[in-house]
A = this chain, B = another copy of it.
Amino acid sequence: MTDRERRQVGRPATIEAPRETILAHAASLFATMGYENTSLQDVARAVGISKAAVYHYFSTKQQIYDEIVVVMLQQLEAFVRERVEKAERSEDGIRAFMVAHATFMEENFTEFVTLLHGHGGTSRVRSPGEIAARDSYETVLRTMLQQAQDRGELNIDNVASASRAILSMLNWMSRWFRPDGERRAAEFAEDYFKLLYMGFKRR
């Protein structure tokens, strides 16, 4: 083994799509260990590069987190919008929203958990980009519910409350759902929809 091989410095371990690779590994670690319990050393080790290399692509740890969140929110909205627009009846639109949200969550599980439960505590500062992306996404559901009510197609007298209820059920899924379990996330979403659509009341 030559000295050059042993003390390799410079450009030995170039990986392709470094930013995306780093983000994916970071999301996985953030999701399981939590943001605060994940060091950039951990991230670097998972990717197979040095910590300094991580800093070559990102300037702070927070920036890595923010990028995961915003990218996920934007992809989520695009994914859901596409499926919602195909629906004709109001109830199909709502069902499509719930199923699409759950499906996306399952397909991007670690990033999604990072998005919702990455940090502990409530005082996290949300970046402007994150706030905008969140609002934009929630508006998709809210306008759908409002239209259904305005057209008299569904019985939704409290749109804000219904919207919150739907998102709450879906968001909390990321707390107990396990991708390696028997049932798909979409199935649980279907159950939730049926529940909300039919109601408890006996007829």
- Min CB distance A37 to B, Å, is 6
Write out the residue numbers on chain B whose beta carbons fall within 8 Å of the beta carbon of A173. Answer: 168
User: Complex Cα distance A67/B201, Å?
Assistant: 40
Write out the residue numbers on chain B whose beta carbons fall within 8 Å of the beta carbon of A155. Answer: 198-203
Is residue A128 within 8 Å, beta carbon to beta carbon, of the partner chain?
Answer: no
Given A168-B169, A168-B172, A169-B165, also A120-B37 (CB < 8 A): yes
Interface positions of A (Cβ within 8 A of B): 30-38, 91, 94, 113, 117-124, 148, 152-156, 158, 161-162, 164-165, 167-169, 171-173, 175-176, 188, 191-192, 194-203
Given A117-B117, A171-B172, A191-B161, also A200-B154 (CB < 8 A): yes
Q: How many copies does the complex hold?
A: 2
Q: Which of B30, B195, B201 contacts A121 (CB 8 A)?
A: B30
Write out the residue numbers on chain B whose beta carbons fall within 8 Å of the beta carbon of A33. Answer: 120-121, 123
- Min CB distance A89 to B, Å, is 11
User: Complex Cα distance A190/B34, Å?
Assistant: 34
Write out the residue numbers on chain B whose beta carbons fall within 8 Å of the beta carbon of A162. Answer: 195, 200
Write out the residue numbers on chain B whose beta carbons fall within 8 Å of the beta carbon of A191. Answer: 158, 161, 165
User: Complex Cα distance A47/B161, Å?
Assistant: 39
Given A165-B192, A172-B168, A173-B168, also A119-B199 (CB < 8 A): no
State whether A197 touches B199 (Cβ < 8 A): yes
Given A191-B161, A200-B154, also A37-B113 (CB < 8 A): no
User: Complex Cα distance A119/B175, Å?
Assistant: 12
CB-nearest residue of chain B to A168: B172
CB-nearest residue of chain B to A172: B168
Write out the residue numbers on chain B whose beta carbons fall within 8 Å of the beta carbon of A113. Answer: 121-122
State whether A121 touches B121 (Cβ < 8 A): no
Write out the residue numbers on chain B whose beta carbons fall within 8 Å of the beta carbon of A199. Answer: 155, 196-201
